Amino acid sequence: EVQLVESGGGLVQPGGSLRLTCAASGFTFSLYWMHWVRQVPGKGPVWVSRINSDGSSTDYADSVKGRFTISRDNAKNTLYLQMNSLRVEDTAVYFCARVGSRCSGGTCYSHWGQGTLVTVSS
């Protein structure tokens, strides 16, 4: 069974940093692109970042570019999101998501973690 388990969320002051972790199991992690998606409760999901299967290519939403860094450790089956210079507007639940094996476009998410809440507030 595919499982994605996020951790690392919490309360942080504006300008601070957090590192989110997504532990993957139940599939060959090294074969899949992985994404981070965030969602403010009551609002729609917002894409944050993606990384290719071997970690050599990354993309970011304009709103986080230069502040967030996505990475992965295929030996540990783990995805990361390093978040620096956090802003109040970064407050959201952060999900890691795996691209579906049958998705032609590469941007459909067949599996999601349970999410971890990041709150940026003074």
Partner 1 sequence: QSVLTQPPSVSAAPGQKVTISCSGSSSNIGNNYVSWYQQLPGTAPKLVIYDNNKRPSGIPDRFSGSKSGTSATLGITGLQTGDEADYYCGTWDSSLSAVVFGGGTKLTVL
Total residues contacting partner 1 (rule CB under 8 A)? 26
Q: What is the DSSP string of 1-48?
A: --EEEEE--EEE-TT--EEEEEEEESS-GGGS-EEEEEE-TTS-EEEE
Q: Which is nearer to partner 1, 56 or 62 (CB)?
A: 62
Residues 31-60 touching partner 1, rule: CB under 8 A, are: 35, 37, 43-47, 50, 59
Q: Which is nearer to partner 1, 27 or 109 (CB)?
A: 109
Rounded to a whole number of angstroms, the minimum distance from the CB of residue 15 to partner 1 is: 25
| Angstrom distance (rounded) from CA 94 to CA 116 | 5
Rounded to a whole number of angstroms, the minimum distance from the CB of residue 107 to partner 1 is: 5
